[in-house]
Amino acid sequence: MNAFALAALLAVGALPPFSSARPGGSLPAGWRVIPVPHATAAEVSLEADGTTTVVKITARAAGSSVAHSMSAEADDTRLRWRWKVDRTVSTANLETRAGDDYAARVYVTFDVPLERLSFVARTRMRIARFLYGAEVPVAALCYVWDNRHAAGTQAWNAYSDHVRMVVVESGDARAGRWVDESRDIAGDYRAAFGTRWPGPLPKVSGIAVSADTDQTAESVTAWFGDVLLERTR
What is the tens place of the pLDDT at every residue in 155-186? 999 988 889 999 999 999 999 999 999 999 99
Distance of CA 71 to the CA centre of its chain: 16
Give dist(CA 134, CA 136) in Å, integer. Answer: 6
Query: Containing H/E element for 218?
Result: none
The DSSP symbol for 3 reads H
- The lowest-confidence range among 67-71, 103-107, 183-187 is 67-71
Average pLDDT over residues 106-111: 92
| 135 close to 116: Cβ distance less than 8 angstroms | no
Contacts of 155 (CB under 8 A, 6+ apart): 94, 95, 149, 164, 165
Sign of CA dihedral 120, 71, 232, 210: negative
Domain boundaries, the chain: 3-231
What CATH class is the domain 3-231? mainly beta
Average pLDDT over residues 96-114: 90
- The lowest-confidence range among 77-86, 173-182, 197-206 is 197-206
Length of the chain: 233
